[in-house]
Amino acid sequence: MSNLYNNPLISRYASKEMAENFSNDKKFSTWRKLWIALAEAQRELGLNIAQEQIDEMKKFCENINYHVAKERERETRHDVMSHVYAFGVQCPKAKPIIHLGATSAYVGDNTDVIAIKKALILIKDKLVNLINELSKFAFEYREVPTLGFTHFQPAQLTTVGKRATLWIMELIMDYEDLIYTIDSIMFRGVKGTTGTQASYLNLFNNDHEKVEALDKLVAKKMGFERVFPVTGQTYSRKLDYKVLSVLSGIAQSLHKMTNDIRLLQHLKEVEEPFEKKQIGSSAMAYKRNPMRSERVASLARYVMSSVGNTAMTSSTQWFERTLDDSANRRISIPQSFLATDAILKIAINISQGMVVNDKVIRKHIMEELPFMTTENIIMEAVKRGGDRQELHEKIREYSMEAAREVKEKGNRNNLLDMIVNDQEFGLSKDDIDKLMDPKLYIGRSKEQVEEFIKTNVAPIVEENQGALGIKVTLEV
């Protein structure tokens, strides 16, 4: 136990790989990789930098002397220059050329871009796994009729699998936004203090071609083909807004999905996994609370609200930069990724173990189906010589009476009994029973699920085969 606050996103919810992506080791080793890439590129373009200096930097790239940097920052109040100093202590030969011509945003912003892109790829892998797991569920239950709900009132039938495709469709929209964002992310690059590259132009004796080459060469060394063509001191904070908007979209989809599951669990139709020794309530031992879905909804709200931070930060940057973005971004960006990672983990766990209670679903269908079959009953009675208008009025009256029996007296729905006993309909109980097969009322649900998975899901799954196979066991 500790007497200090422990961030539950790291200790309780998010995956190890996402937490590591935003760790100090990852951040500061990336700073050093950027300084090495800058020195290498400068040397290749003709600056007086020795290979020996670069080799010395590489030797200490991962071995960060945090205590030296921390002590230096107490004096300077500047994190980047403190780490430049600490790196120089370990690399005395390279000390004169570390951070040559660069500004703090060179390491800060480029590291952020690298971390964001890696985090988006981690999110993509989990999103694909969730789409795949839900698609298995949708296919398995593509023919199982269930009540559709509009306004949370019983409506025409759908199937359990068809409803799941509604969740998947929104996740595919999120996937498409995510892929576009990953593909469009640009490296901040080597731009100097206000984005004019003046310091580098001076280093290269006004050789514009070498300055342009430096920008692209460093980006390539760090794994990027595209570089922001223009920046101020920082890259446009509009990028952060775009990235968190994608995360917000995923959170919206999962909030909607798990809300549906919570409502279905209330109806006892579909339930999230419930482990053998799991406790639903400290007081009511019989309860099976949808705690996984509730956790998703809770964290999803956090993600959706965080995008507002990036909108405000983007809109209030002054000219080439201001520093009121820094402290906010240290929190809003990593924690939004950690929370999104967590809700995807939980959603995968739910989708791998959802329970469908077929008999409860059928019971609910049969309570409402008499009302839904009335149009078919009228058509069948008309075929046997009945008057459509008169039969319609009778069904209206009988429906009102049956509703009163259900709502006011708590009795079963007796609408069909009244129709069978009315000779004007000319229908026997066997005739009515033939019209009471729920599968007659699911439309093209089965075919829609099959076509949707084949056309919309399969290409995504096939393209991401290497990312499949995530199994999630919730430890807490």
Structure tokens, 423 = 């000779």
Structure tokens, 452 = 């949707």
In angstroms, the CA 452 to CA 166 distance is 10
Cβ(188)–Cβ(110) below 8 Å: yes
In angstroms, the CA 201 to CA 120 distance is 34
Residue 78 annotated in active site: no
2, 67, 151, 282: the catalytic one is 151
| Closest among 115, 13, 111 to 338, alpha carbons compared | 13
11, 208, 266, 281: the catalytic one is 281
In angstroms, the CA 245 to CA 236 distance is 15
Largest CA distance in the chain: 104
Looking at the chain, how many residues does it have? 476
In sign, the C-alpha dihedral spanning 55, 57, 60, 62 is negative
What DSSP string runs through 152-182? TEEEEEEEHHHHHHHHHHHHHHHHHHHHHHH
| Closest among 431, 441, 422 to 377, alpha carbons compared | 431
Cβ contacts of 398 within 8 Å, gap of 6 or more: 415, 418, 419, 422
**How far from chain centre, in Å, is Cα 164?**
17
Residue 236 annotated in active site: no
Active site residues: 151, 281
